[in-house]
Amino acid sequence: MRKELGKFPAVFPMPVLMVAAYDENGFVNVMNAAWGMVASSDKIVLFLDEDHKTTQNIFKSKAFTVSLADKAHMKEADYFGLVTGNKVPDKFTKSGLHAVKSDKVNAPVIEEFPVCMECELAEVLHSETIEGIVGKIVSLSADEKVLGENGKIDPEKLDAILFDQFQAGYYTIGEKVGRAWNAGAELVK
């Protein structure tokens, strides 16, 4: 039996994305955004309101980074969602994290987050029903500690946190249970 729960965005899991950009004075601003996803092999779409300080910084700098938050830095990641740069301009400094300037785009790379996409602003989405930004992914970097033997990012080593829209929780991924483009192969026959 199913129970009606009303209108609710029922997507799980959602990534915990750390979106970072410089302001007009070169200060780092970071926000926590769960509403974003890759849109093609070289694009990411972030559904961000225009009133966010980070969004305004992206409009000005035309660049940003998107990092994957991990369990080790959950406290800082959550802080970036609790506090707005519009009211606390030095929130990045207060986090205790460290940033270096990307050598690919005019945006900060947060050193503690293990995976980072460096992006150029490609498009601004603004309609009656949606607001967002599209970034062209220029580079992907990862801390070597999250790489597997094959040189690719290992999700188990990454220990990324995921957002639960249902009960406002953070989770990590569990065990690998199958292989994509293979698990359903017997049904193709």
Consecutive sets of 10 residues in the chain, 189 residues long: mean pLDDT of each? 88 93 95 94 95 96 98 97 93 97 98 98 94 97 96 94 93 88 90
Are 100 and 113 a contacting pair, CB within 8 Å? no
pLDDT value of position 189: 82
Has residue 34 been placed in a domain?
Answer: yes
Cα separation, 72 vs 16, in Å, equals 13
Has residue 2 been placed in a domain?
Answer: no
Has residue 173 been placed in a domain?
Answer: yes
Has residue 120 been placed in a domain?
Answer: yes
Question: What's the structural domain count of the chain?
Answer: 1
Closest to 118 in 3D by CA, of 132, 133, 103: 103
Cα separation, 119 vs 95, in Å, equals 23
pLDDT value of position 151: 96
pLDDT value of position 21: 98
pLDDT value of position 8: 84
Has residue 86 been placed in a domain?
Answer: yes
The predicted model scores a pTM of 0.94
Gyration radius of the chain's alpha carbons:
18
Print the domain residue range for 60: 14-188
Environment class of 160 (CB within 10 Å of its CB; exposed 0-12, middle 13-18, buried 19+): buried
Has residue 6 been placed in a domain?
Answer: no
Domain CATH code at residue 119? 2.30.110.10
Has residue 106 been placed in a domain?
Answer: yes
Has residue 24 been placed in a domain?
Answer: yes
pLDDT value of position 108: 98
